[in-house]
Structure 1
């Protein structure tokens, strides 16, 4: 895949990477830090994306997880090394009243952080792609999946998010990318300013 000449893909001003969002501080309407973004729920076909917030944790450990809709947050992407600015309509007290989010075991590929790093099979040949990230729209919908060729591929390519097929079972899952060889050969290469 890397031997081909690929057009470049640069994030638009209204797009962000899931990896940039995960770990970002979450502020209430008064601008006070009340949580961190622990993950992004990308779900399966038809699922609405959600922000998974961790409140009362330290350095990403402990605390309680809560899922909120992207509609309840305002996310302003930034350039460079800064995290996106994430503001929610919740106070710290109202966030604590939300139901607790529980992950479905290890390898719950419906979560962006679990899917990132997963090896995905293709419907042709014996090639594998590694899921590296997700390009998200402002409403959290995955627009593209960022992939690398095989285990050690360094070049990052974007493919349509609809090509990613996640099958989640009881505590385990699998990932497949449903593309033909020609579409994959024409995938754009992700360029970043970081």
Structure 2
């Protein structure tokens, strides 16, 4: 008689936008079935993901640091618990946020010992998009670090800042009032200029943001 194996857990890998840690978390079919939903947090306390179950469906709610929105994904139970690797991506930029699947496949894919820069450079989602991927990674990392230290704010006083990615720059915008600031990210000179600033303040007119083309 053939043996049918039923997957009872999956592993999710997500990068924490607050502390930069690559967080691997196990989601249990039994725990979800009892609780109805499971909230996944980084060790630093930042909310990364919420997964829930309802009859005939598994749903995911993913706060996105790339577009400042929240993405929802819906699966049949068979799709969600199958061992194959599933991408978790930003619906607006198409850039990858993380992966979901059986533990062995996730660990092999994300390779936890790989440096952030090496992982960034190998990610096909970025292939050919940025003018200089190395500079862009370092600029994004520095902006994130300034934000974590409370050194990224708007002239209006808000620290709720969104980011749009472009091939040669970041466009920072205040969610509260709409002010903007461009952070160039195409050359070593752009990176050097950013590394010399003590803090970033978003200023300019409080008019609506004008978005150019981005991925």
Q: TM-score, normalising length from structure 1?
A: 0.32
Larger fraction in strand = 1
Larger Rg: 2
Q: Specify which structure has the bigger relative contact order, considering alpha-carbon pairs within 8 angstroms and separated by 6 or more residues.
A: 1
Q: TM-score, normalising length from structure 2?
A: 0.30
Larger fraction in helix = 2
